Chain A
Amino acid sequence: MSIWIANGLSQDLPPGVVMAGAWRGAELAIWRSASGRLSAWGDRCPHRGMRLSHGFVRGETLSCIYHGWVYGSDGGCRKIPAHPAMVPPATIKAEVYQCVEAGGVIWVAPAAVESDAPDLAGLTPVRSVTLRADRGALARVLAGAVAEGDLWRVPALGAVLALQDRAEGLGLHALCHDAAQRVAVSRWLDGVLRLAEEGALA
């Protein structure tokens, strides 16, 4: 089972934007700088515990929305607005994860891991959805799916789903083999979402 967890599709995180993510139980802030650099951090400003995913991106830095503490892409605190003349000590640092893009998918792993993210090159990203359902229920509507850890291949649909456990439910990041199938896969996801809303996947 891969240590890398899919956290969304590249197309859904433009430059200058921060979003909430998750690596297994850990909540994350994932952001893309103005120049396109991706970062994934623990979703907590070391100062007062505020979620960094509520912060804002300026250039190559992410600022906490509470007191405006500025963090560089290495996670180190660059500036504390309450003390503009002070150089923040190096010990003030966000909890940094590895974050890479491959095949149009944003992948996250803990900092110490030495392995490559799954390679889904050649597939076309479709979209991400979050379901109020568990894997067992998903398996029931995905007859014939082949699960390799968090990667589910669905031959009947010509699709690959990268699964992600999130606090709000089960994240499905969908890709397809044939770009012409994008609309069909997207419609199929709508159907699964509807089933989940109706409680059929509970």
Chain B
Amino acid sequence: MIAAAVLNEWYPVAMAAMVGPWPGRATTLLGHDINVFSEGDKIIVRGAGGDLAVTLAYGHVWACPGTPAHDLFPVPEAAQPGRRLVDCGAVRVKCSPLRAVENFLDIAHFPFVHTDVLGAEPHTEVGRYEVQIREDSDEVWATKVHFYQPQAAKSAAGGIVTEYMYRVAASTSAVLYKTCPNNPDEWDVIGIFVQPLTEELCEVWPWMALFDDTTPQADLIQFQQMIFLQDRSILENQIPRLLPLDPGKEIPTQADLTSIAYRRWLKRKGLTYGAQMVAA
């Protein structure tokens, strides 16, 4: 039995540009088989119990298996002139969708998992940053996050201190804003949209909205895929596979304030699909 709070959220189920006519993309959402297909101009997400609520945004098809509790989260930068929107395809990961999001919110792993790209020893320190659960938007935000990076983006020529903001926009979607190497007045925007196939299996759809006119699309996608394949080697080897929400099973530090807030927010909202509630 899946909680109504979980059913009433929006989940990514396909890249919009890839959807064809019936049977389209046969996939799974929250353990149930669905087909994502086009019919004329429309995109339909069909499950055994009928058609799901659908919305198109940020290059992806979003579906809600229940009654949508709210609109899909806004990303105003998606409509900003001059940005390149890049769909990166999916990476399938044998882990809880919540673990995939939590890893995306984490910076302390950069020197060890994305060595010499997003981080490098001895630049391992995570300084104090600010985290809040914003009551107006009902989102988790981390701001003033700074980290030294050898190659922060495909377009970065050398090491720089990158500033980040992280945003949990939905239970299985997060967006980060980071220093833009080509445009100091703007942020690069990178999202991960995680499709929960089951509680222990997900597909991760990275998506980017960048100020970068020069890097070939294939290189941007390859860079993002490389980063996610490195993350996958972690995500598939965490025990347990589910994200523990009860304190005591795992030990966070000050660098994990975003993850602590994310777990607390999930628990408060009852968004526990993919979570372990009782310490095993």
Contacts and interface: CB of A to CB of B under 8 A. Distances in A.
Interface residues of B, number: 24
A67 B250 contact: no
B121 A81 contact: yes
A46 B250 contact: yes
Interface stretch (B72-80, B84-92, B104-112): B104-112
Contact of A81 (B106, B111, B239): B111
Interface string B21-38: 000000000000000000
A173 B234 CA distance: 30
A36 interface: no
A50 interface: yes
Contacts of A83: 125-126, 253-255
In this complex, which of B112, B113, B244 has the most chain A Cβ atoms within 10 angstroms of its Cβ?
Answer: B112
A92 B256 CA distance: 15
A177 interface: no
A67 B239 contact: no
A49 B253 CA distance: 14
Given A66-B112, A67-B109, A81-B108, A47 B126 contact: no
A71 to B, nearest CB: 13
A51 interface: yes
Contacts of A92: 251
Interface string A69-89: 000000000001111101000
Contacts of B254: 82-83
A104 B239 CA distance: 31
Interface string B45-85: 00000000000000000000000000000000000000000
Contacts of A43: 239
B276 to A, nearest CB: 10
Given A44-B239, A67-B108, A67-B112, A50 B234 contact: yes
B238 interface: yes
A68 B106 CA distance: 13
Nearest to A53: B237
B125 A54 contact: no
Contacts of A64: 112
B125 A48 contact: no
A48 B237 contact: no
B108 to A, nearest CB: 4
B259 to A, nearest CB: 8
B257 to A, nearest CB: 11
B251 A46 contact: yes
A65 interface: yes
B151 interface: no
Contacts of B255: 67, 82-83
Nearest to A46: B251
Interface in B227-242: 233-234, 237-240
A60 interface: no
B124 interface: yes
Given A46-B250, A46-B251, A67-B108, A82 B239 contact: no
A49 B239 contact: yes
Given A81-B124, A82-B108, A84-B124, A66 B250 contact: no
Contact of A65 (B113, B125, B239, B249): B113
Given A83-B254, A84-B125, A48 B112 contact: no
Contacts of A44: 239
Given A47-B251, A67-B255, A83-B253, 7 more contacts: A43-B239, A51-B238, A51-B239, A66-B234, A67-B109, A82-B124, A83-B255
Interface of A: 27, 43-44, 46-51, 54, 63-68, 80-84, 86, 91-92
10 contacts: A49-B250, A50-B234, A51-B238, A54-B237, A63-B112, A66-B112, A81-B112, A82-B126, A82-B254, A86-B253
Interface of B: 106, 108-109, 111-113, 121, 124-126, 233-234, 237-240, 244, 249-255
